[in-house]
Amino acid sequence: MNEFDLAGPLPRHTTLLEASAGTGKTHAIAELTARFLAETDLDVSDLLLITFGNHAAGELRARVFERLTEIVSAGESASTERLREALTRFNEATILTTHAFCDAMLAELGILGDWDVTESVGPDPQELMEQCATDTYLRLYRNDPEPPLTAKEALAIGREACRTTLPLLPDDGPHRSFAEDVRELYTKRKAVIGLRTFNDVTTRLRTLLADPVTGPAVRDRLRQRFPVVLVDEFQDTDPDQWAIIEMAFVAPDRPTILIGDPKQSIYGFRGADLGSYLSARATAEVATLATNHRSDRSVVEGVEALFGDTTMGSPEVRVTPVTAHHDDRLVLPIASRIWIREATEAELSRDPQTAVDNDLVRQVRHLLTRTTVKPQEIAVLVRTGARAQRIAAALRHAGHPAVLTGSQTVWTRPIARAWGTLLTAMADPSQAHIRLAALSPLIGAGLDDLLAEGSPVAAEVSTLVRGLAQAFRAGGVAAVLEALRTSTDLDRRLLLERDGERDLTDACHVAELLDASGERTLSGLIALVERRHDDEDGASLRISTDEPAIRVMTLHAAKGLQFPVVLLPETGGTVARRSKPFTLVKSDRRHLYVGPAPFWRDEIAQDLNRQTLDEELRLLYVGFTRAKHLAIAWHVAPARSGGHGPLGTLLAKNPGGAVFRCPLDESPVEPVVPGPRPEMTLSPPPQPPRVDQTWRRTSYSGLTAGLHESPVHVVADEPTDVDLAPAEPTSEELRAPSPMANLPAGAGFGTLVHELLERLDWAPATLEASAADLVRELGPQHHLTPEQQENLTAAIIDVCRTPLQPLGRFTLSDLPTSSRLAELDFDLPLADAGRPPSLGQLADLMSAHLAPDDPLADYPSRLRSSDAAEAVLNGFLTGSIDVVLRLPDDSFAVVDYKTNRLSANAADPLVLGHYTPSPMAEAMMQAHYPLQAILYSAALHRYLGARLATYDPHRHLGWVGYLFVRGMAGPQTPLVDGSSCGVFGWRPPPALAVSVSELLGGLR
């Protein structure tokens, strides 16, 4: 193979430059670009430079500009003015990724390119792919009792089939047919919504070039537009991309220069195909860049010795000798610069990862203390982001600075999840959401402080979240971040943590991405956090500190980079996964296999294992060749035979003296104890903050504590008795005993009944079995005897079969469980829009709205004359509605379950007549349940207003039902004055609920 001379004649035909790692591919492209501009009549806009990935395109643009600037600054070229002109118009240079080039050309071709200005270009939307897979599966198999593939398999096949345009394997069968149908539907739906994915633009341009009608015109236009084409990272080109380059630009007497290294083809999972490279190699003029300008001589020799004549996917793909430009520049006690630290699993007392991590930390410490190596000169390259985080943490724990960098995405970091939690709390400030947000690092409340009785932390966090929501409405995510930094001392808190610099960097990065996303609603931002994926532009981790630190990144992210010292702790490769769709090269073309998982002995499984090992060998080559002075790798041989992985495969060939092999030391390293942190002095604010003594988090229980007119506080769920005047039942049916007459009383029993009714499947067909199962589960926990459990089961069934009059002639069992919303928690901000009201004002409001014949008409005067009338409603009102029911007329009812005994005293037999409307109304007022009911109605009003687009209080706000379950006896429950015993129905005017909501908010 000929060595390419950058100073020799410029290429005139299709030329393939094979450039091993470190031989200067990017430099060669920059030099050739400068020479074409200097030595020919070409304009800066006449050259096309294509590379792989946006980051690589930006780097290539910078390197070309830098080289042109160097030549112009030197002023030694006869064509300096031409190059100066090229620099002046450098923004016209076409330096793009393949996908961006295809999109730009479709736009330039206009009608010929079938380009629609209304279409948008972007990545494959996950949700749309899954919709197409789901809809296709339902269309094909919804009536099939034994479909040929499961729903889970179908979803995985559908996603992968949409994500790529690779030809499918197997050649036939239901799996392939399903994948084809999903692709067809996906194509149609993308057209409907005006979306072109990155694969679409490539496919469209290739189709235009191959079309016998449009092909010649498109080809002529592209050749006229770009007389010279240079393609970087050509080994990562897929067949569609190569077809475009070949059809458009490969021709006699046209310089099309392809530069790549097949040993670094590591993107098979993205469709990259060595077949494209080898196809071009068979027809192009092939030359090589033969001098390594990166690595020291011993590193180059060690890599050559380690890989030897090992092929990596094809006989043509192997390590070939190159000349090292540098002698060894790092002084070490060992001549070799490729070190392998190894062990077998049987020799280790720890798991292999921990053993390797311990030895890696030890080697880092030796390098930093016994050589001239500095932390920023060390890079740890790993296979996965999870391993990167683990090793970075181990290094920091040992006292060595380490930062995550590279292509790892910030969206998988804990802080991104914390942002999602906080945004959820801002959008829906329920107790659960606020507590989760409080425990996130963005707020940083302690769990003990949050749950401690009487602690103000919960109230403070609620206020903070409300303030953050207001800040968002005023200034977006940027305003939220600023409020967090000022209100919660975010920077100081995070920096005090072990990985604080990383977390603070991520917090600001995620905020910036959210702010720049274009989403302007909390729900949109929450969805954005959930759907972000790994390869989005701008989502790669940023360096968390400017201080010298060891860099930890993935091998894929390190491609194209170089480091003085490289550490490779993950060299065992990856196991080929046959249980999901996978890519496979067949007949020199990569395919997507979507069929049933092959058995490990099948030919296709053997091919997959071999190709996986080939790609892992290439990835390992990338890792070793990042090193300038030293590379250290770790190898733990598995206990079982076979499965040695890429490094084990190489070591089995005994690479010889150029590679230094020694046993690893698995013992842990003592951490370096840092010195004491300097104490921070905080100056107090110029004026002490004003504390609003009326602000509090309260509830119905808090508002009515101590007010109950009965000897026992009715609010304690549930009381044993209330202070009622004795009433003699007037009929035989009212003297019937309560179904729960012989069951326990008290709060514990009330809790049991609430949980039963919350979890019960009360549909007619399942009611009896569900009640029996639940009582059997929960009864023993509340010390019920078997007889009591049997009685409770029957009583619960009776409750569900009792007509709910006056709410309606239906029963709980008649209502589908889908119309039941149990335990609706709420946190209502009080006085957030005006002056705080008092409880007395609320009583006056109730008095103004209730008619004289209302069953609770006497209650407002009782509340107005109580000790709580002057209580100020300021802060937050919290509560939990037992159940909200959607009634057959589409109205919504607030329902509360009560287990109160309404007999005159505990010794009296409990009968159904104790639960007629009059004693229930009196019990309601004694316990201040009407206050609870109207507060819950106001909460439901706000909830429905936020959830129903067509919400109308007069239509949707319905009854309030207090179900005194001890008085509910099933279908034969007596009816008194239009009400079933045990069912207290109250229908407050909708205007009252609306007015109470306004009063609580400070608007009245």
Span between the terminal Cα atoms of the chain, in Å: 89
Is 298 in contact with 265 (CB distance < 8 Å)? no
Q: How far apart are CA 707 and CA 585, in angstroms?
A: 79
827 is in an annotated binding site: no
| CA 663 to chain CA mean position, Å | 40
Strand locations in 809-954 (E): 820-830, 875-886, 892-898
Q: How far apart are CA 745 and CA 15, in angstroms?
A: 91
Q: Which pair of structure tokens corresponds to residue 779?
A: 């009864």
Is 827 in contact with 466 (CB distance < 8 Å)? no
Q: Which pair of structure tokens corresponds to residue 659?
A: 């590679």
Is 896 among the catalytic positions?
yes
Q: Which pair of structure tokens corresponds to residue 887?
A: 């009634």
Q: How far apart are CA 171 and CA 169, in angstroms?
A: 5
882 is in an annotated binding site: yes
| b/e code 880-901 from CB counts within 10 Å (16+ = b) | ebbbbbbbeeebbbbbbbbbbb
650: left (phi over 0), alpha (psi -120 to 50) or beta: alpha
Q: How far apart are CA 419 and CA 508, in angstroms?
A: 10
Please give the torsion angle defined by the CA atoms of residues 745, 747, 751 and 757, in that order, rounded to the nearest 10 degrees. 50
Half-sphere exposure of 977 (CA within 13 A, CB side): 13
Residues sharing a CB contact under 8 Å with residue 949, sequence separation 6 or more, in sequence order? none
Closest CA to 306 of 560, 708, 575, 651: 651
Indicate the helix (H) or strand (E) that contains 34. Answer: helix 25-39
Strand locations in 502-549 (E): none
Strand order in the sheet with 589-593: 168-169, 589-593, 582-586
Asked whether the bond before 170 is cis by omega within 30 degrees of 0, the reply is yes
253: left (phi over 0), alpha (psi -120 to 50) or beta: left
Secondary structure class of 793 (helix, strand, coil): helix
Q: Which of 114, 896, 952, 977 is catalytic?
A: 896
Half-sphere exposure of 957 (CA within 13 A, CB side): 25
Q: How far apart are CA 609 and CA 614, in angstroms?
A: 9
Indicate the helix (H) or strand (E) that contains 365. Answer: helix 352-370
240 is in an annotated binding site: no
Helices and strands counted in the chain (H then E):
34, 29
Q: How far apart are CA 409 and CA 425, in angstroms?
A: 24
Closest CA to 300 of 717, 762, 659, 698: 659
Give me the residue label for tokens 């959210």.
514
Output DSSP code: residue 257.
E
Indicate the helix (H) or strand (E) that contains 271. Answer: none
Phi, psi for residue 576 in degrees, rounded to 5: -60, 130
Output DSSP code: residue 409.
B
Indicate the helix (H) or strand (E) that contains 190. Answer: helix 174-193
Q: How far apart are CA 525 and CA 710, in angstroms?
A: 50
Q: How far apart are CA 428 and CA 481, in angstroms?
A: 19
The residue type of 969 is: A
Q: Which pair of structure tokens corresponds to residue 400?
A: 């060595």
Output DSSP code: residue 734.
G
Q: Count the neighbouring beta carbons within 10 Å of the beta carbon of residue 706.
A: 9
On the 0-12 / 13-18 / 19+ scale of CB atoms within 10 A, 259 is buried
Q: Please identify every residue annotated as catalytic.
A: 896
Q: Which residues are annotated as a binding site?
A: 754, 882, 896
Task: List, as residue ranges, the binding site for Mg(2+).
Answer: 754, 882, 896
